[in-house]
């Protein structure tokens, strides 16, 4: 099946009609195999699609947008590329819904790092299309969001976010702004921290799995 992004799929293990959809968005320099490695541990009812980012970094490595680590002011994200990838992901969701028999009212995005940043951006821009977000080791980048969010209807959106307290890639202070930002918009959300670096602790995975299970 030809979609705009390369992807892997895990079909539901249960005999369910129009299953909920979970799209996995990997981090910078990784690929679609990364998050897909724990797909079999996620709820049986889900149709899981793991997407590959469009920018090639090298053998087996891909990115949603460029990060200029040698920038004199520190890490610098290419905002134009990020906005382009935001729309690519938005269109990819439409393609998946059109080509797979899924429930369009049960769409989950699960991202890690750069994938989380874009998951937030897509969901906050298109809350009519995405109902649930699991954001791991990321943050909300305001440059990727539309203006006048206060006039947007977020009543059907819910977000789970988590971060490592010793994350050496994305400071935990950036992630700690997520909950007050979402609270201010009236979005149902939860935020958790774990004593890890830029990764997902076993307890974190167990917690996000429970969160997903409760919503399908």
Ranges of each domain in the chain: 7-213
HSE (CB half, 13 Å, CA atoms) of 193? 14
Per-residue pLDDT, 2: 78
pLDDT for residue 70: 65
Residue-wise burial string across 151-171, b where 16 or more C-beta atoms lie within 10 A, e elsewhere: ebebeebbbbbbbbeebeebe
Q: pLDDT below 50 — which residues of the chain?
A: none
pTM given for the model: 0.95
Both tokens of residue 84? Answer: 């382009």
Domain 7-213: what homologous superfamily? Alpha/Beta hydrolase fold, catalytic domain (3.40.50.1820)
């Amino acid at each position: 099946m030809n979609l705009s992004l390369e992807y892997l799929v895990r079909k539901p293990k249960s005999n369910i009609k129009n299953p909920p959809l979970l799209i996995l968005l990997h981090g910078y320099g990784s690929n679609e195999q990364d998050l897909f490695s724990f797909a079999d541990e996620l709820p049986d009812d889900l149709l899981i699609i793991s997407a590959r980012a469009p920018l090639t970094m090298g053998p087996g490595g891909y990115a949603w947008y460029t990060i200029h680590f040698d920038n004199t002011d520190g890490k610098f994200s290419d905002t134009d590329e990020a906005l382009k990838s935001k729309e690519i992901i938005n269109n990819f969701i439409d393609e998946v819904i059109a080509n797979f028999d899924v429930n369009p009212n049960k769409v989950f995005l699960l991202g890690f790092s750069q994938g989380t940043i874009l998951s937030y951006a897509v969901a906050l821009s298109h809350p009519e299309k995405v109902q649930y977000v699991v954001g791991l080791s990321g943050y909300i980048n305001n440059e990727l969001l539309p203006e006048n969010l206060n006039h947007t209807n977020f009543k059907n959106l819910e977000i789970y976010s988590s971060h490592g307290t010793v994350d050496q890639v994305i400071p935990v202070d950036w992630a700690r702004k997520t909950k007050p930002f979402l609270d201010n918009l009236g979005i149902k959300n939860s935020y958790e921290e774990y004593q890890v670096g830029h990764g997902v602790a076993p307890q974190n995975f167990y917690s996000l799995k429970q969160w997903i299970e409760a919503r399908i």
